[in-house]
Each structure stands twice: as C-alpha cells, then as structure tokens.
Structure 1
C-alpha cells in the first residue's frame, strides 16, 4: 500500500534580526564600489562643495576616499550620522514632492557602514577643529580597542572626508563577484566623468592610491562643453552640437526645459554614450534612450553610435523620485510628449548643421573613369621594369620576371577579424600588438624618412583629406572592382577603396617606421618555397638567361644576406631566420589581417621592385610593396575574371564577409583618422556622383 502524502507543517514566522535586516537593505543600495561613490558624490554636491577629490585602491574594494570642501557636518549630528533614515533633506511626507537635493532617504552611509569599515572626518566653517568618527553597523565605534567611541578632535580643512575600507568584507559572495579591480575602477571613473560633465563649476579629481598623476582632473568654473572636451578628448569637441529646449505650452501643461549636448553626423562611436540627468539626478530611461537612438538611425551608418548629454529640468511636483532604492530611475508626467519634443529638436539641429556647410567645388571630383584597384595596380606594376638585384652592388640583370603574379590556389587561411587575438581561433597564426590602439608616429632621425614624411605632408590635398576625415560610410558597391560609396555634407562620392587603402597603408608604414608591431607566423614558412610559388606563376621574359630556379635562388640570397636581413628585421619587423624561415611580418593596422595568399608575390617583388642601392628609394619602394600586399581583395587572373558574374551569384563566403567587415569597420575609420590624401587620388579614384543642391535644381525644372 502506497504511503499517503502529507504536506509539510507550516514553519513559524520569526522577526529577522536587526543586523540581518540592515545587511539586506545595504545590498539594495550598495551594489559595488561605484554605487557607494555615487551616493557619497551626491552628498558632497548637496553640501555645496566646489572641489571633490577621490582616491581609490584595488578598485575601491580595499580603499575608497572622497574629500570635499562643502559645509561639513556638525559634531552633534555625528552620533546618528550612519543610522538608517536619518537625513537633513526631509521632515514631512509632502517634502517628497518638492525635492531639489540628491539624497533624501538617509540610507547611503548607513548601508555602507553595514558592509565596510567607515570613518568620517568633518569640519564646519564655524568650528576651530575637525572631528573624526568611526562607524560599524550604523553605530559609533572606537578607533582602537580600549578607546571611547566619541568623535575625536583632529586637524582638518573645512568640509568632509569619508573613507571606506574593506568593502563587502562580511559579504564574501558579493566580494567574490567583484574581483576584477580594473573593471571596478573603470566604473568609478565613469561615474566621476558623468558628474563632472553635469557639474562643470565643481573641480573633480580621481586617482589611484600611490599614483602621482590623476586619471581625471577638471577645473572649477568651467563649462559643460569644456568638461566634455577634457574627459572625452578634442575629437568629440569638433563634432559637438548643443541646444536648449523649453516648454511648448500647447502640448504640455507643466513647465520644463532641457539642455542637450550631442554629436553631429560626422561623429561615429562603437557604443552610444548617453548621459541623462533629471533635476540634476543621474538616472536611466530606456524609453528616452531608444527614442534618441532612433533619431540617429537614418543618419549614422550601421554599427555607429552618438554621444548625448541631456539635462532635463522639470517641476519637482511632476517627478516621482521614490521608485528605485538607488534613485537610478524616476517617473515624471508627460514623459512621452517631452521625449518627442526633445527628439524633434535634436533632429532639426542635426539636419540644419549637416546642410549649412559650404566648401569650394572641385571640378576634378565630378569626372573620371573609375577602374578597379586590381586593374590599376597591375597596370602600374606591369609597366615598371622588373629587376633581379644580386647581393653584390651593381650586379643586376633586367627582365628576369615580369607581371604581377597569379594565384591558382590558397596556401594560407583567411582569418576572420573577429578572431584576431584569440589563439584558439587559429593556432597557426598569432599576433603581438602594441599596447595602445592608436597608431603613433615613431621617433626617427634618418634624413631619408624625415624627407619622405615631409613630402607626404606637402602633397596633402586639403579638401580631399577633409572629405575622407569627415565622411559617412554608405556602403560597398562592388567588392571585385573595389568600389564604395561615402557621403560628405550634401554630396555623394564613389571611391576606389583599394586605391585609398594602398595609400593609407603606405602612410601607416611610413608613420611607424622602425617601430612596427609584428604579425607572427607559426609555424614559420620557408622563404624559398614562398618565392618559388610566386615565380612559378610568372612568365619568364625572353631577355633573361636565368631559369626559374635560378631566379628564386637569386631573390632568396638577396633577402637572406646578413646586413639586409638585419635591416628588414630592425626597420620593418620582417624577420627572416638564418635558415630561411619567414618568422614575422610588419603589422600596419591593429585588427586588420592582410590576405596571406599575396605573401609569395610580396616576397618575390621585394627582390624585383625594391631599389636596394639608394636609402630613400629603398625605404619608399619597400613600403609601397608592403602597402600593395595589404590592399584588400584577392588577386584575379584572366580566367577568374571570366567567371566573375557567376561568382557574384553564389552565396557569399565567410572570408568575403570578413573582408567586408574589415573594409567598413577598420579601413574606412582608419582613413578618416590617418590618411593625408594626395591630389593624385582625384584623377580616377574619387568621383562625385550626386549633389543634393543639384538634384533640387533638377526637380525644380520638372
């Protein structure tokens, strides 16, 4: 007989211990060091501080101190300072509807005291000395065993200094989840940055303990725009717009205003930076954020995001601030109408600035025939004399190899750019990157390199450089012909991204001369085998008496010669071992992988197209060949071009998708930042195809 199921007896309901209640409440307010800092920052600002200094150790978990020069705390208030629901901001429930301060619940210091060791040093302007107090679980405690818990007089400046030590020491689960101190420090810095932008009249400083220089330092009495420039750099400043929106009495009954700083169509970030303050309170609103994102959807290319700082002032009676324990969210009346009005003004301002720019019209941009980079480059290289230089000076034999090389099979894998840096993605290829993502100009005292750099600057075409610097990427038109569309102001341009990329990589090579990062090849392929692949694909000129194997040996000997091999390794990070293995290649642009199918041709052409007899010409021709190797796109032979249309109809391969990704997300942003465009690109590689004012004239005649 089966046993009869009986429900369990009801457990008795007990009153939780006060310490457990407080610790649970603390977990709702203090999630991590950054949330503790936010509460303390708001207290300092409420105290009228004009200078706030923050010192951090181990991401704020070990030590977090905030010092201000505000009004301070009276000695008589110190005994209840860290008790729950003690505040100077509220006295009656009706005060909630008239709040103009940050804090009001009186839970911040109490919560911190339950999960950390808390000490407070404070001095008001009317007292002769400062007082220091220590707290635990909301109560005053002695600083040392055997002492009294009473606040002790000490030296100190006007204002308050709050120190938090060993945060979450009694909640090991929370502490274990926050072991990444670098991430925690980044969050602290992010909070400081946002409050520094919203309070430009206050001086903010944030640094790590023991560091000589701060990571954030803003002056007092500044402006919002200046604070944004200090924190996010000059790049964002030139693309920053600002406007003020006031109440539209026809749509809303309550008065409100909004100050907005936002970027124009030229600024493109990978991630949206959205700072929202409502009545000076840092909050989040997914509805407002999505609405503003939609404004930029038709303006920025896919994957690009703007910067927006929005400060909204609303009648306190229209705002409910008591909807979230950390005050992260608020609700207010007429939210939809106010959001719509703000978005409309932002869109109008962007459109106005986008169509008000005037620049000199260039007739060269409206004509010309665009040819593929492959056609152009092959033509240029077929016309150039091919030479084999021996190890001995003056021992040259012309016509040993001609043409640009044809690929019939792939020897190397095509690496997806998203896999770069992930050794598990491809064990045969690893890369060592420089520490900084920015491509910095190397320090070089060689007269030849200095002269080449000056020549670049002198040959820069100002308007074309500005077009590429401030363009908006529209899309790739044809991968095989290397054609893409970009927009600048009110005009649309068809560009040969292959030719632009070749010039970009030449300039990046010259920029990093002698200080290249390396693209390491593992296992290292044989130099002799690689050059043999390229020479086998060439048609040997009738003028030469050398066989293909002799040509290969001549080029290998040239590149393996001791002084030349050392020079290639030192200046260009092209490392060839003594036994003839290619160990590393120069890495011109982080996150960009060249098509390694071109490596045999590149190495062969180092023997035939580089002028090793002249220092300046040697460096220039080597960098030109390196740039050609880096240009995106496969090499197509005559037979492959016949099947071009058939290939277009086939499903796009993973390699093609990776190449598209590199062109849009790496090449064009790099052009925007680093390319000093020469006038020669105007001949056939940049063609204006549409102009909005001209289209309007056509419509007017219709």
Structure 2
C-alpha cells in the first residue's frame, strides 16, 4: 500500500488589527460585571468619593458609571480608548511597584470594541465638560459612526462613562448571557464587595427608571458598619476583628553605618516578605450554606481558592458539617513581591511566600475562634405548641420546683446536679415511665425482624438501629445547593423556606424510623418524643424530591441510559397506555407529535438546567439524578416524558421551572411493587429491595433535606399514639 501524501502546509497570515482587538476584548470583558469592575477601579484610581451606577437589562443594554474623581484631560481623550494607553506606568520596572488598580490600558479599549462607548469628563481647571464617543478605539460621532472630535458640553467635575449595547457585534457571547437578572445580581455582588473595602466612598446602584437604588452606602463609615449595612446584622453581630503582620521588618542596629545624608537605605529596611493583614470573620454562632469570602490584595479584588479552602478548614471543628462562615481579608504586601499581571482580568495575582502567609492567617483565625468558642450562645425555643422541643431539649436551663421535664442519663436515673453542696440544690422529681423517651440504640425496627435485601439483591441481616449511620446516608450528604443567579430560582427557593412548618420540620428532622406499615398504600410509622406518627412517605418523598431538584438546579447529576431509548417511542408507549384524553381534540398520533416537538425544541435548555439529555436524533441519553443511591422506577419513564408536554407551563420562566420539577418529583416517588405471587423469587427480591431503599435511603434523606410545608399536615402526617395517653388507658383497665 502506498502511504497518503501529506497536505501542503498552509500559509501563516497576519490577523486583521480589528480582529486582534476583538479577540483581546473577549479576554478582558467577559460579561457586564467584569466591565463594571474595570470602570470601578478607574474611578477609585481617580480619587472618587462618590460613585453612581445605573444599569438596564443587566448591563447589556446600558451600563453607566458616574464619579466625582479627578476627571480626564481634554488632550488625553483622543487616545483614551486605544490599547495600551495608560497613565499608571511608563517602563517595565514600574510593574514591580504598581499600587493602582489599572495599569495596562486595555479596559476602555476592550469595551469600545464590543459596545458603544461614550465619555463625559471634566477636570477642576476646565470651564466645561468634554464629551467623546468611541468605536473600535477611535473617536467617532455617536450618530453617524464617522470620525469626529471631542465636543464641549455641560457636566460636573469627574467622569461619566456610558456603555450601550454590550456585545452587540459578538452574538455568541450575547447569547450566552441570556438572563438580565443573573447579570444584575453579579453587578450588585461586585459593587457590594468594593463598598465593603472602600467604606469612605459612597456607592449607589440602581436599575434605569427605578426611583430608589438597590444598593446605597454613605461615605465616612468604617468597615464593620459597611458589612452590617450590606450583609445584614446577622453577620455584623458575630464578627471578629483581627489584625496581624509578618513581623519580619528589618531594622539597622545603632552601630551599623548609615548613609552620609542620614537616611537609611529603603531596600535594606523593607524586605519583600513584609505584609500586614486585616480580618473580619464570623464566630461559631454564625452559619451559612456557603462561604462568603472577600479577598483584597493591595486593595485589588481577587480570588484565591487555596486561601478559601484553608480558611474553611479553620472552621471544621467549630461549625456543623455543611455550615460555612463569612471572611473578609485585606492583605497588604510589598508591591515587589506581587505579580499583578498573571490574569487578563486581574482576577488573580501571585505573590511570594503565598503558602506561609495563608497558613499564618488561617492559624490566627483558628486561635481567635478557639478563644471565642467558650462564649457561644444559642437561640432556641424551649416550648412549641404540643411540647415538641420542651420534652427533649438538651440545652442547659434553670430548674424549678414546678418543672416536670427533666433530663435523664442512659440508665434512666436523674442527672446529678452540680453545686458546692447538696443542701443548695433543689430536690429532683422522679420521671415517670410514661414520660421517658425510649430511643435507645438497642431498640430494633419492625423490618429488622427479618432479612432485608439491599439494592444489589444481596441478603444482609439488618440488626442495626435506625439511628445508626449507613453508607448510603453518608453518600447522600453531598447534595449541595448549586450557585444560581436566576431570579426565578431564587424566588422558588425562598418560597420553600417561607412555607416551612417549624413543628413538622422538627418532627421529620429528629424522628426515629419504626417501620413500614403498608408498602402498597405508602404508609410508615415514625416516632418523635413520646408520640407515634403515621406518615404517607409518598407525599413526603414527592415534596423532598421537588426541593432536591430546586436545590441542585443547573448542576444535577445524570443517570445514563444505555442503550438510549427513542423519545418518540417512549411517548407513544405512554399515550397508548392512557385510556382517554380529556380537554383536547388531538388524535393520539398528533399528541405524540406535539409532545415530541415540544421536548426536541427545548432539549438544549433541558440539558443545561435539568441534565435531561436528548440527542439530535431523538434518543434519551440521560435523565437527572436527584439523590445518590436512589434510582427511580424506570417503568414510569414513558409517562414522565409524555406528561412534560401538557403538564409543564413552557410560557413563563418561573412556572416552567416549578412545574417541570414537580413532574420530576412525581416521577421519583417510590412506586409500590406489584402484589407478590407465590414462588416468584424475583418479585420477592424486588419487594425487599424496595423496603430497604425506603428505610435506609429515603427516610434518612428526608431527615436531612426535607423542609416540610404545612400542607403535609392535612392528611399525610397523623399522630396516632402518645405514650402518656396510653398509660392512662392502661390505668383504667
């Protein structure tokens, strides 16, 4: 065989200057928030004490920032938007001493290549303001687009920069930024962080046409006040303020030589290892779902995953698992030891002795937390309606003669009282049997009386108590809330929290599983305190799976289907199984075509938000996984896909997400197995595996993740027994 002839080499061409600039602009300006960050830094470099931001459609239609800084000279306006024009440095060695935010002269140039940019500026010595518009780095007329000159206009001291139609000439980037609410949330996040670090500067941000701003801060305040104003009193009242430094400043001794002019050599006095840090971080009383980490290095907002992880580790033995702190760090390092030019957007910096500095600060946080830990305070309610918490509160409280609820040790004896002498201690009343809460680790559940099949159909003897952690429970703990800036998802999550019923949530969080009463009617028994409850775990599971889908929105795991079934055939199966279709005049083939078209047209959205992957050829490659080790009954997959057509409101964002997640939760609820036929081993194994999955995966997950709404009390959670009442019945017999 003859070997194929290699192709001729392609010529190398120099790219067009406009294309080069647009590529560079894409590296600097990722989204409206990154453009705003550059403009904020320019305003702060100009010495502004007041910064006002106006936003329209998340900054994509309009992003305007006005400051009262030093302004820009008229003579500098013609080259203002050209690349690499800057007032911050003149030689390469200046990079080692840079103390300003901007220095490369790329921000305004990059913006002018992807948006319509205009500037109105006035210095203190100017008699009027000057206006200039830019396109591709060149001065142009805003209306005609032709080259023009700077024009005089009315204006205040400072600079007003207006960005309109961001990414108008890069449709791919614009399509990726679909949600204005998400972009506006990112803008508010940037302004909030800079407002915390610059409390002496007044910040304001509002939407165009809005009467009141969404963020407003007053100047001349301190950092703690700014944190209280922007992040709330819950964080501010738990803050610890701490300062530390390297303590490696080198001083000359008195007998060493000095310069003839009496001045000491600066290079010998300050080493690049010199640094100082100012910290504000929360104590053990504050807990959040995710870490809020604000890092400023030499007043520059940057990110450092390594530092963040180290600081989170300092809280491991202080906060409960899954809880996170708030940390604000302002780090001042000798400019000679910092490389600020390692990231196109200056998002990251590198500096000497990074590991050592991180370790020192993390140790300081840990030491301060250890000092504060002895004074932890707890806010709790000692008695709820029905006495749910009052009967087993383990928190210390004053005892009185009238108090009837006493703690006991493992042997059922009253706890020993502490005090200088027994004569000063009130006598302890006896706790009667009907008030004792029996949840000993020696207790056994109903299902532990016989062998249970695990999901792999291997026989195991389940003699462990219900409260003992299992592997499946440990694995289910990694369901973390995804970061989402969509207003609709934030509203839905907030709606879940507002609808929380505290008593019912308390019952489900601290219950002890007793056993399954009727698997076909989805009924189980759970114990809480001295009460026994009959629960419909089907309804509880449906609500929990809805909340899990909402919790992991946009970051759901996948169940891969191999081989992938045909979407049309699955919908056809579900349609054929339905007896009648009320409320529609469509024939069955038309219903199949309609539902298939709806899902195919939206398959990109379904894949991005819900991990429901449908190929271009119409095959279902994967479905979302809501809970690890829990696999829904795939026999219901055709019905699930068919219901997505008529049951999901595709016309509204919030209703679309909510109705889809409700259908997904309905698909995930446990399906009772078919009645067992004698002699059929597979059905018996499936029956046992279903019971094992309900007890060891479903109920532990509900204990951890379910925020119970009040609606479940109507018919799905019923108290059927109370130990004191049972004793009264026995006493009458």
- Structures share fold, TM-score greater than 0.5: yes
> CA separation of 1:658/1:169 partners in 2, compared to 1, >3 Å: closer, same or farther?
same
Residue among 284, 289, 308 paired with 1:270: 289
Partner of 1:207, secondary structure, is strand
> CA separation of 1:341/1:497 partners in 2, compared to 1, >3 Å: closer, same or farther?
farther
* Counterpart position of 1:400: none
> CA separation of 1:353/1:126 partners in 2, compared to 1, >3 Å: closer, same or farther?
same
Residue among 673, 687, 693 paired with 1:653: 693
Once the two structures are TM-superposed, the CA of residue 238 in structure 1 deviates from its matched residue by: 2.0
Partner of 2:375, secondary structure, is coil
Structure 1: state its 5+ residue gaps: 375-415, 420-431, 443-455, 457-470, 482-495, 503-518, 520-590, 592-648, 671-683, 685-702
Q: Does 1:439 align with 2:498?
A: yes
In the alignment, the residues of structure 2 paired with residue 146 and residue 106 of structure 1 have an alpha-carbon distance, to the nearest angstrom, of: 23
* Counterpart position of 2:192: 193
Do the aligned partners of 2:58 and 2:180 also contact (CA within 8 Å) in 1?
Answer: yes
Do the aligned partners of 1:50 and 1:70 also contact (CA within 8 Å) in 2?
Answer: yes
Partner of 2:370, secondary structure, is helix
Q: Does 1:259 align with 2:278?
A: yes
Q: Does 1:327 align with 2:363?
A: no
* Counterpart position of 1:371: 437
Once the two structures are TM-superposed, the CA of residue 164 in structure 1 deviates from its matched residue by: 0.5
Residue among 362, 367, 388 paired with 2:398: 362
Do the aligned partners of 2:60 and 2:166 also contact (CA within 8 Å) in 1?
Answer: yes
Once the two structures are TM-superposed, the CA of residue 659 in structure 1 deviates from its matched residue by: 3.9
* Counterpart position of 1:169: 168
Q: Does 1:73 align with 2:139?
A: no
Partner of 1:277, secondary structure, is strand
* Counterpart position of 1:388: none
Once the two structures are TM-superposed, the CA of residue 318 in structure 1 deviates from its matched residue by: 0.9
Partner of 2:498, secondary structure, is coil
Q: Does 1:300 align with 2:319?
A: yes
Residue among 321, 327, 346 paired with 2:365: 346
In the alignment, the residues of structure 1 paired with residue 478 and residue 348 of structure 2 have an alpha-carbon distance, to the nearest angstrom, of: 36
Give deviations 1:466-514, integer Å, cap 9, x for gaps: xxxxx9xxx9695559xxxxxxxxxxxxxx9945999xxxxxxxxxxxx
Structure 2: state its 5+ residue gaps: 251-270, 379-395, 400-404, 409-430, 441-475, 480-490, 516-525, 533-542, 544-625, 627-688, 711-723, 725-733
Do the aligned partners of 1:373 and 1:498 also contact (CA within 8 Å) in 2?
Answer: no
* Counterpart position of 1:115: 114
* Aligned Cα root-mean-square deviation (Å): 4.2
> CA separation of 1:662/1:299 partners in 2, compared to 1, >3 Å: closer, same or farther?
farther
In the alignment, the residues of structure 1 paired with residue 530 and residue 363 of structure 2 have an alpha-carbon distance, to the nearest angstrom, of: 37
> CA separation of 1:265/1:4 partners in 2, compared to 1, >3 Å: closer, same or farther?
same
Q: Does 1:144 align with 2:184?
A: no
Do the aligned partners of 1:229 and 1:236 also contact (CA within 8 Å) in 2?
Answer: yes
Q: How does 1:651-690 map to 2 (within 5 A)?
A: 653-654=693-694, 657-665=697-705
Aligned residues between the structures: 438
Do the aligned partners of 1:372 and 1:498 also contact (CA within 8 Å) in 2?
Answer: no
Do the aligned partners of 2:512 and 2:528 also contact (CA within 8 Å) in 1?
Answer: no
| Relative contact order higher in (CA < 8 Å, ≥ 6 apart) | 1
In the alignment, the residues of structure 1 paired with residue 530 and residue 353 of structure 2 have an alpha-carbon distance, to the nearest angstrom, of: 50
In the alignment, the residues of structure 1 paired with residue 436 and residue 231 of structure 2 have an alpha-carbon distance, to the nearest angstrom, of: 39
In the alignment, the residues of structure 1 paired with residue 98 and residue 406 of structure 2 have an alpha-carbon distance, to the nearest angstrom, of: 59
* Counterpart position of 2:88: 89
Do the aligned partners of 1:72 and 1:122 also contact (CA within 8 Å) in 2?
Answer: yes
> CA separation of 1:16/1:148 partners in 2, compared to 1, >3 Å: closer, same or farther?
closer
* Counterpart position of 2:303: 284
* Counterpart position of 2:483: none
> CA separation of 1:250/1:669 partners in 2, compared to 1, >3 Å: closer, same or farther?
farther
In the alignment, the residues of structure 2 paired with residue 282 and residue 182 of structure 1 have an alpha-carbon distance, to the nearest angstrom, of: 23
In the alignment, the residues of structure 2 paired with residue 666 and residue 189 of structure 1 have an alpha-carbon distance, to the nearest angstrom, of: 31
Partner of 1:97, secondary structure, is helix
In the alignment, the residues of structure 2 paired with residue 146 and residue 347 of structure 1 have an alpha-carbon distance, to the nearest angstrom, of: 59
> CA separation of 1:158/1:417 partners in 2, compared to 1, >3 Å: closer, same or farther?
same
In the alignment, the residues of structure 2 paired with residue 204 and residue 52 of structure 1 have an alpha-carbon distance, to the nearest angstrom, of: 5
> CA separation of 1:264/1:479 partners in 2, compared to 1, >3 Å: closer, same or farther?
farther
Give deviations 1:559-583, integer Å, cap 9, x for gaps: xxxxxxxxxxxxxxxxxxxxxxxxx
Do the aligned partners of 1:74 and 1:123 also contact (CA within 8 Å) in 2?
Answer: yes
Do the aligned partners of 2:120 and 2:130 also contact (CA within 8 Å) in 1?
Answer: yes
TM-score (norm 1): 0.56
Partner of 1:297, secondary structure, is coil
In the alignment, the residues of structure 1 paired with residue 118 and residue 32 of structure 2 have an alpha-carbon distance, to the nearest angstrom, of: 16
Do the aligned partners of 1:55 and 1:206 also contact (CA within 8 Å) in 2?
Answer: yes
Q: How does 1:460-499 map to 2 (within 5 A)?
A: 479=513, 498=528
Partner of 1:119, secondary structure, is strand
Once the two structures are TM-superposed, the CA of residue 249 in structure 1 deviates from its matched residue by: 2.9
Once the two structures are TM-superposed, the CA of residue 241 in structure 1 deviates from its matched residue by: 1.6
Do the aligned partners of 2:337 and 2:351 also contact (CA within 8 Å) in 1?
Answer: yes
Once the two structures are TM-superposed, the CA of residue 58 in structure 1 deviates from its matched residue by: 0.9
> CA separation of 1:668/1:243 partners in 2, compared to 1, >3 Å: closer, same or farther?
farther
> CA separation of 1:294/1:435 partners in 2, compared to 1, >3 Å: closer, same or farther?
closer
In the alignment, the residues of structure 1 paired with residue 145 and residue 30 of structure 2 have an alpha-carbon distance, to the nearest angstrom, of: 33
> CA separation of 1:292/1:281 partners in 2, compared to 1, >3 Å: closer, same or farther?
same
Once the two structures are TM-superposed, the CA of residue 92 in structure 1 deviates from its matched residue by: 1.2
Once the two structures are TM-superposed, the CA of residue 358 in structure 1 deviates from its matched residue by: 8.4
Q: How does 1:383-532 map to 2 (within 5 A)?
A: 436=495, 439=498, 479=513, 498=528
* Counterpart position of 1:249: 248
> CA separation of 1:180/1:253 partners in 2, compared to 1, >3 Å: closer, same or farther?
closer
Give deviations 1:405-458, integer Å, cap 9, x for gaps: xxxxxxxxxxx9999xxxxxxxxxxxx97974553999xxxxxxxxxxxxx9xx
> CA separation of 1:221/1:660 partners in 2, compared to 1, >3 Å: closer, same or farther?
farther
Structure 1, 236-245 or 70-79: larger mean CA deviation: 236-245
> CA separation of 1:500/1:166 partners in 2, compared to 1, >3 Å: closer, same or farther?
farther
Q: Does 1:102 align with 2:142?
A: no
Do the aligned partners of 2:122 and 2:159 also contact (CA within 8 Å) in 1?
Answer: yes
> CA separation of 1:654/1:209 partners in 2, compared to 1, >3 Å: closer, same or farther?
farther
Partner of 1:227, secondary structure, is helix
* Counterpart position of 1:21: 20
> CA separation of 1:74/1:358 partners in 2, compared to 1, >3 Å: closer, same or farther?
closer
TM-score (norm 2): 0.54
In the alignment, the residues of structure 2 paired with residue 289 and residue 435 of structure 1 have an alpha-carbon distance, to the nearest angstrom, of: 27
Partner of 2:313, secondary structure, is helix
In the alignment, the residues of structure 1 paired with residue 87 and residue 239 of structure 2 have an alpha-carbon distance, to the nearest angstrom, of: 39
In the alignment, the residues of structure 2 paired with residue 199 and residue 51 of structure 1 have an alpha-carbon distance, to the nearest angstrom, of: 11
